[in-house]
Amino acid sequence: MKRVLSLGVFLVFLWGGFCYAGQSTITESEGYACMGEDRTKRQTEELALQDAKRQAIEQVSSYIKSETTVSEGKLQKDLLRAYTNASVRIIESEGRWDTEPPRVGDCYRVRIKAEVIPDEKAMKATSEAEDMDDPSAPLKVRIWTDKKQYLKGERVKIYLKGNKPFYARVIYRQADGTMVQILPNPYRRDNYFQGGVVYEIPSGPDRFDLEVTPPFGEEYLILYASTEPLGELELEQTGGVYAVKTALKDIGQMTRGIKITGRNETRTGEFVEEKLKIMTE
């Protein structure tokens, strides 16, 4: 039997297009620096971290070169330009000195998992020009609903489509701040999807429906997707879905802790975050 998941969903505004600002690439890299007469311990550690960040950008650029080959190289050129001016956000880091405490001549090595975020303006131009269904382009996953407006008692249908195979997580944040993970869920544990296929939520093995009820206010559908398995959250089963126990501020960070499998030499995973803002009343 299906469980009706009551959600305050009255859509008076819905933006469901592809959000270029949500694209990034996650990789692992190392940095290295040595302490000298004119360089303190902290300065050495910072130099090693900057070296690791540079390595991360270089690895992602190499990955882009190997994975994107469309439009006679134009897309690849545009993407490389976007990643040349990328910013780097540290997800995880672990450093080690040759000796502790370090002495002059000792070296520091740091290993990081980092999110490389391309230049927003350059990615906007690229996203507008590229084909949504082209599997040789960076990962793009679109999320949308069946209608732009819902009335009390109606049921919401959500759809997903990516340009290549991807792992996904969909979280619904309600007006009262509570969050539920509707995908994967206790009855649809497999969160790996093929590219070029439209998937419907809820459907198939799902045992819940999304019914429009109070409380009303500002709500969100949040999609996380990657070419690699996503990081774990703290969840608690409640009927056909999971209640999210992880704090909102930590969800993005923990989800970005993807499990890079090393199937490619650059050890990278493409990542997308999409939001649908929903005003309910």
CA torsion angle 29 167 145 171 (round to 10): -70
**Greater confidence, 122 or 138?**
138
Domain boundary among 98, 129, 160: 129
% of the chain at pLDDT higher than 70: 83
pLDDT of residue 52: 96
Q: Among 129, 145, 169, give the residue marking a domain's end.
A: 129
Average pLDDT of the residues of the chain: 82
C-alpha 109 chain-centroid distance: 27
pLDDT of residue 104: 80
What is the count of structural domains for the chain? 2
Tell me what pLDDT residue 71 has: 52
Tens digit of each residue's pLDDT (9 = 90 or more) over 212-229: 777 777 778 999 999 999
Look at 66-70, 172-176, 201-205 and tell me which has the smallest mean pLDDT.
66-70
pLDDT, residue 129, reads 54
Instruction: Say yes or no: 29 and 88 in one domain.
Output: yes
Is the pLDDT assigned to residue 5 strictly greater than 60? no
Q: Percent of the chain scored above 90 by pLDDT?
A: 40
Looking at the structure, tell me whether residues 78 and 147 fall in a common domain. Answer: no
Same domain assignment for residues 136 and 73: no
Tokens of 273: 């975050």
DSSP strands (E only) in the chain: 3-7, 23-34, 87-97, 107-117, 141-145, 155-156, 158-162, 166-173, 179-183, 192-193, 199-201, 208-212, 218-226, 235-238, 241-244, 268-279
Domain limit, last residue, from 110, 129, 148: 129
Do residues 159 and 234 both lie within one domain?
A: yes
Same domain, yes or no: 147 and 259: yes
Instruction: Quote the domain boundaries for residue 188.
Output: 3-18+132-279
pLDDT confidence of residue 281: 66
Q: Specify the higher pLDDT residue, 30 or 202.
A: 30
Tell whether 264 and 252 lie within a shared domain.
Answer: yes
With a cut of 80, say whether residue 90 has pLDDT above it: yes
83 and 176 share one domain: no
At 235-244, the pLDDT tens digits run: 999 888 899 9
What gap in Å lies between CA 281 and CA 215, rounded to an integer? Answer: 8
**For position 101, which CATH number holds?**
3.30.1660
pLDDT at residue number 125: 67
Strand pairing partners for 193?
Answer: 166
pTM listed for this prediction: 0.78
